[in-house]
Every structure is written in C-alpha cells, then in structure tokens.
Chain A
Amino acid sequence: MSDLRITIGAFFVLVGAIVGATGLVADYHAPLESANVNLYGGAAMLIFGAVMLWLGRRKTGGHAS
C-alpha cells in the first residue's frame, strides 16, 4: 500500500478545498460567530493535507509502508 500519509493528505486536501470553497462562495454564518470559519478552517486543513502529502511523497522512494 502507498504510504498512509498520502491517503490522509489526500483526504484533508479534498475536505479543505470543499470547506474553503464553501467559505468563498456561500455566506453561511453560525449564530455566535461572525468570522468566516469555513474559509480559515478550510485553509488550515488544506495546508495540513499538503504537508502530509509532501511527507508521504518524500519517503515513498522504494520504501512502502
């Protein structure tokens, strides 16, 4: 199997993109929060996912775990 980090990275890149895009296009607001939670949350997940992908790719040269 390819590195688990790649699977996890792919998941969070996708979810981060979906949540972040929601923040950009839709004007959803929670009752107690005025900030664009979707945009920041999405961005954070996107970054986390990208780091996991990078970590996974860096190691996958011949070493599969």
Chain B
Amino acid sequence: MRLAPVDYLILALYFVFVLCIGWIVKRRVSTSEDFLTSGRSVPVWITSLAFIAANLGAQEVIGMCASGAKYGIMTAHFYWIGAVPAMLFVGVFMMPFYYGSRARSVPEYLKLRFDEKTRALNAVTFAVMTVFSSGISMYALGLLFELVLHWSFTASVLLSAAIVLVYTFLGGLTSAIYNEVLQFFLIVLGFAPLAILAVLKAGGWSGMAARLPQVMTHTWKYAGHASENPMGVQVFGLVAGLGFVLSFGYWCTDFLVVQRAMAAESMSAARRTPLIAAFPKMVMPFVVILPGVAAVALSHMALGYSIPLKPGGGGPDYDQTLTTLMAQFYPSGMLGLGLTALMASFMSGMAGNVTAFNTVWTYDLYQGHIRKNAPDSHYLWVGRVTTIAGVAFSIGTAYLATHFNNIMDFLQLVFGFVNAPLFATFLLGMFWKRATGHGAFTGLLAGTAAAAATHGLTVAENKGGWLGAVWHTFPSTMAQNFWIAICAFSVCLIATALVSLISTPRVESELQNLVYGLTRIPHEDVPWYKRPAPLALIVIAALVLLNVLFW
C-alpha cells in the first residue's frame, strides 16, 4: 500500500485535533474527580458515543472484519445478542445502583456493597486486564502498520502511544471521552464507505448471498448444531454463553464502559447512556463485519482479489481483510482517512483502557490501600503519574499477544476467566440484599477457578486440556469459551449464595442506594422518549427486526 502526501496530511490533521481537545479540556481539570471521573458533568449524547467508542478498539475493528470473513454475518451475534441486551440491562436495571451509590468506580461500588477484599480482588484483576487489552491492541496495530505500510513496529506504536499519553495526561477522562466521540465519527465515516463500495462491487446483498455458502449469510438458521456452522457453536452455548454470561459480564461490570455512563451529568442521563448507545451499536455490524463478508464474495469473483495467506502456510490471514479491502477500494485521500480511522480506533481503545486503569489504581488501590487521607491535589498528581505508568505498561505487554491466531478468541478467553464470574456477583449484590462480602469474595475466587478448570479439562482446536485429563472436546475454541463462561458464572452464583447464607448479613440501613428494594429510584419528570423503559422497548423492537431480516 502506497501513501500519497495527502494521506499523511489527514493523519497529521487528526493528531493536531486530538491534541487540541486535550489542551482545551485541560483548563477544566482542577480536582482529582475532574481528572478521573469528569466531575459527572458530561452531556448524554457524548457519554453514549464514548460508551461504544471506548470498546471499539483496533482489535475490535480488525477482529470483527476478520471474523466476518471467517464466519460470515453470524459474527453479528457479537453485537446483536452479545452486546445490545446487556446494554439495555445495565441502563434500565443496574445504573440506578452504580450512579445512585456515588461510587467513583465499579470496584468502589463493590467496596460499598460488600467489603474491602472484594474490591481489592476486582480492582487488581481489572487493572491487569486493562493493561493487557491495551497491550494487545497496540501489538495488533504495530504489526498491521508494519505489514501494510512498512512502518517500523516500534515507531508506530510509540508515536500513537505518545499521542494518547499527551491528551489523557492533559485532560484526563473528559479528554478521553471527548476524543472518543471524534474517534467514533471517524471510524464510521472512514469504514462505512468501504462497506458500501465492497458490497456494491460484490453485487449487493443478493449478489453476495449467491456467491457465498448459505451459512455465511444467515445468523440463526444454522445455529442449531455446532457441526452446521463455521463458528462450531450451538444455540444454547451461543445464547447462554455469549448472549448472557459473557456479554452481561462485560457490558454491565467492566469499568471501562461503565465509567463512561458514570460520567454523565444526571441519573437520568447515566441510565440513558447505554440505551442510546445501543442504536449505533446495533448497526455497527454493517460497518465492521459486512466488509469482511463481502471480501469473501469478492474473492470468488474473477477480480484478482483474494484474502492474503498467512506467511508459511496455514490458511488465509483474516486479520488482513480490512486493510487489503482498503487498498482495493480507497484511492489516496480516502485511504488516508481509512488509515486515520484505524489509528483512531486504536487510540480510543487504548485511551479507554488507560483512563479506566487510572481511576481504579488511584482511587481503589492507591487511596484504598497505600495512602488513605492525602489532600485531593495529591490524588490528582497520582492520577497523572498513573497515566504515564499505564501507557508504559501497555507498551511492555504488547509483546505478550503472540500465541493466538485470532485476537477475538484470545480476548474471549480472558473475559471468560475474569469477567464471567463477576456478573453473578453483581447480580446477587444488586438484587439480593442477603448477599455478603464473604460470599462475594469466595464466589469470585470459585468462579475464576471454575473457569480455569473448565479450560484445563476440555480441549478445542488443540487449546486447553492442560490439567491432564480431557473430559470433553469442543468443536471450536469459541464454543469452549462460551462454556467456560457458563461454568464460571454458575459456580460463582452458587458459591456466593451458599457462603452468604452462612455468614452474617449487613444491616439494611447500610445498604441504601446499593441494593434493589432499599433504593428509591428518583422519578424524573422527563418526556417519554427520555425514559429508560420506552427507549429499551424501541431498541428491542429494532433488534428483533434485524435478527429476523438476517435470520
């Protein structure tokens, strides 16, 4: 891929704007809460777009396009059942407790609801995981730019990391959120034209359907048996594993996304954040997955296009689908925009991780365990220093992400171990006042252990089975991951409930604004289209329609 000066000009212009936003926002940061939680003052349309943009990292964009080429439109499940229902749940049912408790982070909610050890466990695993995700994202980007543009791996990683560092260092969470909105529009305007051009070239949807095997153009029709679809999953594993445990575990408890909603200016805005975000989330498959599906159709037409093979054999390298399509359809100019969008997706993912890591480290670990009663200016200083440390750790861990062929599968594995049991903890914590701190802590440990054990005792595509005995063989690692999540969730749920019943419950007066039944949800006098329930119903109707259309 050859770039013209105009492409570099667009990339440079983007960098200038990103840094400008950081510089302008800097003036509004005077306390640690301004820096780490945006002082709860961000308008709802901004938090909504940031809510999905923080999740829309480079590995998401490249990985989803890759999965589109590998599995077909079935990949849309990661959005339609793997994200949207959980987003509705967190907005309608969970946000009143997150926002109402005045917690500054998800681990801090756990401290208020349960105890210090539960918070510490969650904060530490979360901190490690965010740095890890950030590193994976960085690695993916560096590798890609090296492959496609022959840029030095180190140079592209360091340049983009430096820019993320500058704007998050200057303006903290507000700067990250404002930039995520710019990045969101850039991702959509940079990739949507590619989807349109690729699909048109492949003969529209009907042309694609005629050229592809049927499984590639249906989402549910072949989900009945694992052997019938390329993902190797069946409907129960898909709905319970991905649609319930994994997706609720991520969207409802992952501080990276929940932090965006918690930065909203009011309870009503916080609840609407994930609901409004569900609309763009629902149509994202058409921007990021569809080009991948179209690429396979194009490779069947005598156009001279094919998905590149992995060096040294081993089938197609799906991770290159997006960039090869860009090279085929974008002339210099739009190509610069597309690459800028890729860079933007990387930066939004990384800034999201860095700002979440920041808050958790500063408030939950540093203030909670290392230095409790320092003046606020000290925590602001710690937050800023942590930004530098977070970026440095991410660069360090970027080299760990080498052993997995599909980035998506790897992320699922990590989520399965750490996040899957989490949702059980929050579910019981928010909706069962009898749940106790000892119960939650034991449940989390048991759930994570169950996840690891499931992975160790089963095998899929030569992965897992490290505990010696193999109890079950799954048709795909994806199916294995879904079942790991299901086991972790169930074990955590049962362990938490059992230990809670034999330990002393907290007095009810301490649980106000933390648990369902002891929290008064303020009735806000807003028109119907601003209320959570009607919004959620509209989302559900649109979701059902999409699933029927692409059955």
Contacts and interface: CB of A to CB of B under 8 A. Distances in A.
B211 to A, nearest CB: 15
Given A8-B181, A28-B4, A33 B13 contact: no
Contact of B333 (A4, A31, A38, A48): A38
Contacts of B333: 18-19, 22-23, 26, 28, 37-38, 41-42
A41 B193 contact: yes
B474 interface: no
B17 A32 contact: no
Interface in B314-337: 327-337
Contact of A31 (B6, B10, B328, B337): B328
Given A12-B185, A18-B6, A22-B6, A33 B201 contact: yes
Given A30-B329, A37-B329, A41-B334, A12 B189 contact: yes
Contacts of B336: 19
Interface string B170-202: 000000001001100100010001000100010
B25 A32 contact: no
Contacts of A41: 193, 333-334, 337
B193 A37 contact: yes
Secondary structure call for the B interface: helix
B24 interface: yes
Contacts of B46: 4
A8 B189 contact: no
A60 interface: no
Interface residues of A, number: 30
B28 interface: yes
Contact of B334 (A4, A12, A14, A37): A37
B189 A31 contact: no
Contact of A15 (B4, B10, B20, B331): B10
A32 B43 contact: no
A30 B17 contact: no
Given A8-B182, A12-B185, A32-B305, A19 B10 contact: yes
A29 interface: yes
Secondary structure call for the A interface: helix
B328 A38 contact: no
A45 interface: yes
B193 A14 contact: no
Contacts of B24: 1-2, 7
B293 to A, nearest CB: 16
Contacts of B14: 11, 15
Nearest to B26: A1
A37 B189 contact: no
B162 interface: no
A7 B20 contact: yes
Contact of A32 (B27, B329, B332): B329
B21 interface: yes
Contacts of A7: 17, 20-21, 24, 178, 182
B189 A48 contact: yes
A49 B334 CA distance: 16
Chain B CB within 10 Å, residue with most, of A14, A37, A40: A37
A34 B491 CA distance: 57
A65 B265 CA distance: 11
A2 to B, nearest CB: 8
Shortest 10 CB-CB contacts between residues of A and residues of B: A28-B331, A22-B333, A38-B333, A32-B328, A19-B333, A30-B331, A28-B332, A41-B334, A1-B24, A11-B17
Interface of A: 1-2, 4, 7-8, 10-12, 14-15, 18-19, 22-23, 26, 28-33, 37-38, 40-42, 44-45, 48, 65
Given A8-B181, A18-B6, A48-B189, 20 more contacts: A1-B28, A4-B46, A7-B24, A7-B178, A7-B182, A18-B333, A19-B10, A19-B337, A22-B6, A26-B4, A26-B332, A29-B331, A30-B329, A30-B335, A32-B305, A33-B328, A33-B330, A37-B197, A37-B333, A41-B193
